Structure 1
Amino acid sequence: MAEPGTDARIAVVTGGNRGLGIEIVRKLAQRGLRVVLGSRSMSAGLEAREQLGAVGERVVVRELDVADERSVVDLVRWIHGSYRRCDVLVNNAAIAVDGAQDAMTADFDVVRRTMEVNLYGAWRLVQALSPAMRAGGYGRIVNVSSGVGRFGSLGTGIPAYRLSKTALNALTVIFADELRYAGILVNSCCPGRVRTEMGGGQYGVSPADAADTPVWLATLPSDGPTGGFFRDRKPLEW
């Protein structure tokens, strides 16, 4: 099947109401995609949409908690009923809540909560939305990961977050192989240290600059890479 025109493509961005997420939403909408902005809070999502100005006309807000299977099912039903297609998924929603913990003293409730959002949440969305991509013969899946999940960067501190991102990278490779012949490209990326609430506020690159690589991966041509890990549009070692 021929690739759809940009103005016909439907993108879903999880955690799209602030920071890196809203900039990914903005840039995809600027490129002509119709974007579903997923937000745990509907009011926060609507407030974010107001920040987008005229390009917000290409954005619709839906309540989405990636850790809640029912919430994911409701989103998929709505997308099927509204568009009957999904072309792009950016798994951006994530939490980092283990602070100064190390692996020896880790609170397993924190570990489970982190994995539920950062790993299983992305897994749920791929399972739920990739059938629509298969049906259309086109798909781009981007998992927003982190360099702290690379094997060469593993060490003490934030073990739950590190492990969740290492596992997300592994999941990226698995899904890339499973979907390789369905016209679906699956990649992960490290946005770097971003000036967001999660990233530390005043340090790092701007969310707008950090959004460049995930948006690039979300709009790859059919001969683009799959199963890779990227930063600044360049491959990273796992």
Structure 2
Amino acid sequence: MSKDIKVALVTGGNRGIGYELVKQLALNSFKVILASRDPEKGHESTQRLKDSNLDVSFLVMDVNNQESIHQAAITVNDQYGRLDVLINNAGVYLDESENLVTMDTSILEKTMATNFFGVYHVIRSFIPLMEKQGYGRIINVSSEYGAMSELSYPGVGAYKISKFALNGLTRLVAAEIKGDITINAVDPGWVSTDMGGSSAPRIPKQAAESILWLATIGPEGPNGGFFRDGKRIDW
């Protein structure tokens, strides 16, 4: 494969912001791997993009399953030998309006399993591919709900804690990585998707644009930051 061709992987890529990210990366000459845990929906979404002559391939990966993540990393290494951009987009929003300390604990556990541990295991498995070439761009799709100030208000506790932990993970990994590898967190805003609902003011295309600039930043670009619409925001 040509050294000029960059490879990107997007988790939760079969719908919403993830699908739009896959599409926009492919339109910007990336070879894109659409990762999803649902083979049927994943293949369907990938085919739709291929029909538009976009260079997209499908990979089954369940971020709640460490073995699935491990196998996916082996597949990417075997097929491409590299990974330039990793976007951790897969996430769940399971909260109703109940309080954290009284909610069914399985809601918190499932939320953390996907939104925090899922991302952690994906980074762990794929970062060696970046270290091999001394280059990589990791983007964690977070939320303004993960900001410290949001924790002063009740409600959406499981989701808030999961994104707060994800932001912490972003900073810690940024402090640990070497070479031209960066990791940043992004708040895409309230977006009209299955998760965000139909009354949300932003469309997935706007959200994707607010994220994708971090996929192509140079070595002088930010590392360990939290951004909304290209501007740094408070943790």
TM-score range, shorter chain: over 0.9
Residue in structure 1 matched with residue 233 of structure 2 by the alignment: 236
Aligned positions of 1:126-141 closer than 5 A: 126-141=123-138
Mapped to 1, the partners of 2:224 and 2:5 lie a distance apart of 25
Assess if the C-alpha contact under 8 Å between 1:7 and 1:32 holds in 2. no
Instruction: Find the residue that maps to 2:101 and give its secondary structure.
Output: helix
Following superposition, the deviation at residue 213 of structure 1 comes to 2.0
Runs (5+) with no aligned partner, structure 1 = none
Mapped to 1, the partners of 2:167 and 2:36 lie a distance apart of 23
Residue identity over aligned pairs, in percent, reads: 39
TM-score w.r.t. structure 2 length?
A: 0.95
Following superposition, the deviation at residue 76 of structure 1 comes to 0.7
Following superposition, the deviation at residue 165 of structure 1 comes to 0.2
Assess if the C-alpha contact under 8 Å between 1:49 and 1:56 holds in 2. no
Following superposition, the deviation at residue 55 of structure 1 comes to 4.9
Report the AA paired with residue 90 of structure 2.
Answer: A
TM-score w.r.t. structure 1 length?
A: 0.94
Residue 225 in structure 1 maps to residue 225 in structure 2: no
Following superposition, the deviation at residue 143 of structure 1 comes to 0.2
Residue 200 in structure 1 maps to residue 190 in structure 2: no
Mapped to 2, the partners of 1:52 and 1:44 lie a distance apart of 13
Instruction: Find the residue that maps to 2:123 and give its secondary structure.
Output: helix
Report the AA paired with residue 186 of structure 1.
Answer: I
Residue in structure 2 matched with residue 170 of structure 1 by the alignment: 168
How many residues align structurally?
A: 234
Out of 163, 181, 190, the residue aligned to residue 187 of structure 2 is: 190
Assess if the C-alpha contact under 8 Å between 1:183 and 1:222 holds in 2. yes
Residue in structure 2 matched with residue 42 of structure 1 by the alignment: 39
Mapped to 2, the partners of 1:131 and 1:232 lie a distance apart of 29
Mapped to 1, the partners of 2:162 and 2:221 lie a distance apart of 26
**Cα 1:115/1:223, change in 2 over 3 Å:** same
Report the AA paired with residue 231 of structure 1.
Answer: R
Report the AA paired with residue 218 of structure 1.
Answer: A
Report the AA paired with residue 237 of structure 1.
Answer: D
Following superposition, the deviation at residue 56 of structure 1 comes to 5.1
**Cα 1:131/1:53, change in 2 over 3 Å:** closer
Out of 25, 29, 47, the residue aligned to residue 26 of structure 2 is: 29
Instruction: Find the residue that maps to 1:103 and give its secondary structure.
Output: coil
Residue in structure 2 matched with residue 88 of structure 1 by the alignment: 85
Report the AA paired with residue 22 of structure 1.
Answer: Y
Following superposition, the deviation at residue 110 of structure 1 comes to 1.1
Aligned positions of 1:118-129 closer than 5 A: 118-129=115-126
Assess if the C-alpha contact under 8 Å between 2:50 and 2:56 holds in 1. no
Residues 154-212 of structure 1, C-alpha deviations (whole Å, 9 max, x = no match)? 22111110000000001000011111x32101000000000001011232200011101
Following superposition, the deviation at residue 223 of structure 1 comes to 1.2
Mapped to 2, the partners of 1:6 and 1:96 lie a distance apart of 38
Runs (5+) with no aligned partner, structure 2 = none
Residue in structure 2 matched with residue 78 of structure 1 by the alignment: 75
Out of 53, 56, 62, the residue aligned to residue 59 of structure 2 is: 62
Assess if the C-alpha contact under 8 Å between 1:106 and 1:159 holds in 2. no
Residues 109-147 of structure 1, C-alpha deviations (whole Å, 9 max, x = no match)? 111110000000110011111111011010000000000
Following superposition, the deviation at residue 5 of structure 1 comes to 7.7
* Higher mean C-alpha deviation, range 61-70 or range 199-208: 199-208
**Cα 1:32/1:93, change in 2 over 3 Å:** same
* Higher mean C-alpha deviation, range 103-112 or range 67-76: 103-112
